[in-house]
Structure 1
């Protein structure tokens, strides 16, 4: 084989190896490996999500809407009698014991008829879909699943006759297995809330924290003993948020979101890790394609 041919073969091998390694690094496979990081400091790019119900209509053009702070947010619902949801399109591969840690920032604004009904952070294995409107909060009927609801409407005894509460819900049931009736502020006050949901699969413990700043509280707002592997039947799950409105409504916004498929509580949501956001991945991919093209041209000129 000539020196030119050897150079050509080496260049192509180098390009293929580079592309393979970078695809693995950037999480461009069918689903992220456990421990991978989802990091949305804003929602300029929604291409990794499947939007359902009214959510794709609200967030037109593949990006979130401009929220109260001027940054783009993921708006799940925005008026009366709606259900919507947003799930990562690809199932997320959790750790073998289904451990995960998540942080998200949310806000209810532009209340209509008193504001309702809320949002549910959801881990489920059904599909990229939305559940019932109103008191169903877009979560009702999703089974198997676990959800953490933030609900500002009193639907009677199932809500503890409380119009400002949080709860842990199982298998699409809107009646919470654990409920917190005292929150840091009224959900319909327009305040920005910060939530942490952590599941320690080694100890089968789910914990929820809530604050008005991004400083993670030492004490949990709610905790619940649950075997998620047994509940879900798999460690590959759809991760995201649901929302619903009824005779009252509001803008239900997710402002930031960080998620990792291992138990690793997120103490610094401003800088949770080094995995690039989708826009950065696109630029990196384009740069790699340019590099590969350059290597191929050099290989041809050496023939």
Structure 2
């Protein structure tokens, strides 16, 4: 059949009119407002939102309804939260008859069902912000809830409290160890807190093969969740599937949970989400709910569409950037390698094979460098004769430490010294600062101790800006140091001789308990073995006189230093000074003030208690002052055999033994000896033992 030209024209006009009419109808349909929520069926117990344009939701936080009907709970703003509530409360409890002889009537949580279509669009394909949740709550006031890992539901203080009375199903995209999350892509059932009572990786069971298929919650694809609670069986089922897949018969989660004591009778249902540091948008396209039955199904054709992805635009950008980025990437690799070499040189350490056996006590220089802020001068705690001390915080354990840097000579017996450091690191006593370990780098040795927040006793004694220590605090400090020395000398597995007992090496913890620290000069030997011959090291005023002859460190040399320490604490004066104020015997011919001589002279004149620190203003027990001063003199006796042991000292301090009454004649004046290399060594000698000690004082620190 052949059509005439007029017929063809008429047919084309007809097709054009049909096309125009269809276009107008689609436009009208697109501009029509979204339907109102499904009527409550007379009892207000169900609703359905297929798109949210014109919906009467209560929104807070970042939640907004976009022009096309999408509910966006949160946008890309970091550390924010958003909530959407069905405005009216729902009656979640219903009377039931409890099976009993008299047929008791009680209330229990009603069965309910909800479903919603959501999408989580993350800026990156490998990491997301936080997730979203469906929840039931007694109040719409969520202002106290925190964003980020708390999903806008709880905060650090109320998380896990039974008084919350909140039930939630979370769609979590971040692994939070504090909530015992199973992974960073899971569904969880939460009761009053974010430690889920049950959780499963996100996915669904294929209807045909019953195999599990994973889903990525933050892929940006639309997915649907069904939450069905059976009030009589106290059983909750949670099902997840892609939006194009019908509801699987096998739920993802099936958990027995009784919501009767959790959900209040009149409660609100809502949706919540939150963001962390990563840019993420949380969308909800449709939502329905029903009490006592299945939630009304959602018509996918009526739901608003998700925004189109910008894959093509990104591809074009990449086409332009790749040629430019390639040489930049090469430069970055070269710079990275150079930085790595530089860092290796910067944090290079001195390690030898024999140090393997001391591994647990070895710190990396990098960790100590980071802990002290690069040994920042603002963290410098002090500088002594043997090194600088910095305050630091270890990067992993967050433990506060004090790091002391001392110089060392590689030719010295470093292996033996490190072995002793490792052994001393096992010391544990309430009056001993724990030596945690060491590190060696080039010409430096770093010793790591527990940090003592109140600093050294020396500062409290001699810093005029610090409040003076009371007599009780001084007596407590002396007892603490005595107890610590007793532990080192007699109660540990080996004999430890500290060799540098003085006020500046006594540290005060947060409760002002005295702890003996700084074991950089300590020596130890097995019980029953003889003392070691060593270089004479220490601080002027604390050195026992026999060291000039024998150079052997023994517990008795520590007792001598302890005696000087006792006099120092009680009198508030250093053992050796210049131009001491007092009687003419205070100073020797060179103008040095010798504390032990001064106390000895006050004792001889019958006024020994007057040697107590004037900053005490007489607020002390004179009997205790006399006891301590005589004990200090006895411990400082020039003859080692006349000094008590630390066990006897502790007994004297505790009142378990009577201090023997020393005689004035048993003491002699302290002699100021001059060593060959120009250092003055203050040492006590009886008159028969004063001899030349040429070259004996090889390593000495200044009085502090």
Q: CA RMSD in A?
A: 2.4
What is residue 129 of structure 2 aligned with on the other side? Answer: 116
| CA separation of 1:186 and 1:202: change in aligned 2, threshold 3 A | same
Look up the SS of the partner of 1:72 in the other structure.
coil
Please tell me whether the aligned partners of residues 95 and 261 of structure 1 are also in contact (alpha carbons under 8 angstroms). no
What is the CA-CA distance between 1:269 and the residue it aligns to? 2.5
| Deviation readout 1:228-275 (Å, 9 max, x if unpaired) | 22212x322100111111111311011110101113265x4329xxxx
- 2:73 aligned with 1:76: yes
Look up the SS of the partner of 1:109 in the other structure.
strand
What is residue 49 of structure 2 aligned with on the other side? Answer: 40
What is residue 53 of structure 1 aligned with on the other side? Answer: 61
For 2:202 and 2:40, how far apart are their aligned partners in 1? 39
Please tell me whether the aligned partners of residues 129 and 173 of structure 2 are also in contact (alpha carbons under 8 angstroms). yes
| CA separation of 1:26 and 1:120: change in aligned 2, threshold 3 A | closer
- Structure with bigger helix share is 2
| Deviation readout 1:69-126 (Å, 9 max, x if unpaired) | xx42111111211011111222112351321111100001142693210101001113
| Deviation readout 1:7-61 (Å, 9 max, x if unpaired) | xxxxxxxxxxxxxxxxxx9559xxx836x321101010232x2212222xxx2xx
- Structure with bigger strand share is 1
Segments of 5+ residues of structure 1 without an aligned counterpart are 1-24, 272-303
| Deviation readout 1:121-175 (Å, 9 max, x if unpaired) | 001113343521000011125821110000111222525351111100111x112
| CA separation of 1:100 and 1:161: change in aligned 2, threshold 3 A | closer
Map 1:81-100 onto structure 2 (within 5 A). Answer: 81-94=79-92, 96=94, 97-100=109-112
For 1:180 and 1:109, how far apart are their aligned partners in 2? 21
Please tell me whether the aligned partners of residues 74 and 80 of structure 2 are also in contact (alpha carbons under 8 angstroms). yes
For 2:180 and 2:116, how far apart are their aligned partners in 1? 23
Please tell me whether the aligned partners of residues 128 and 280 of structure 2 are also in contact (alpha carbons under 8 angstroms). yes
What is residue 105 of structure 1 aligned with on the other side? Answer: 117
For 2:154 and 2:135, how far apart are their aligned partners in 1? 11
| CA separation of 1:91 and 1:128: change in aligned 2, threshold 3 A | farther
What is residue 240 of structure 1 aligned with on the other side? Answer: 270
| CA separation of 1:151 and 1:26: change in aligned 2, threshold 3 A | closer
Look up the SS of the partner of 2:179 in the other structure.
helix
TM-score where L is the length of structure 2: 0.31
| Deviation readout 1:180-214 (Å, 9 max, x if unpaired) | 12423111111111100011101111110000135
For 2:93 and 2:165, how far apart are their aligned partners in 1? 18
Given candidates 137, 140, 162, the residue that maps to 2:154 is: 140
Aligned residues: 228
- 2:250 aligned with 1:219: yes
Higher Cα Rg: structure 1 or 2? 2
What is residue 7 of structure 1 aligned with on the other side? Answer: none
- 2:223 aligned with 1:210: no
Please tell me whether the aligned partners of residues 47 and 290 of structure 2 are also in contact (alpha carbons under 8 angstroms). yes
- 2:148 aligned with 1:152: no
- 2:262 aligned with 1:231: yes
For 1:264 and 1:41, how far apart are their aligned partners in 2? 16
Please tell me whether the aligned partners of residues 95 and 262 of structure 1 are also in contact (alpha carbons under 8 angstroms). no
For 1:175 and 1:77, how far apart are their aligned partners in 2? 23
Please tell me whether the aligned partners of residues 130 and 174 of structure 2 are also in contact (alpha carbons under 8 angstroms). yes
For 2:154 and 2:254, how far apart are their aligned partners in 1? 21
Look up the SS of the partner of 1:135 in the other structure.
helix
Map 1:222-301 onto structure 2 (within 5 A). Answer: 222-232=253-263, 234-264=264-294, 268-270=297-299
For 2:250 and 2:279, how far apart are their aligned partners in 1? 31
Please tell me whether the aligned partners of residues 200 and 263 of structure 1 are also in contact (alpha carbons under 8 angstroms). no
Segments of 5+ residues of structure 2 without an aligned counterpart are 1-37, 95-108, 159-163, 204-213, 301-704
- 2:194 aligned with 1:174: yes
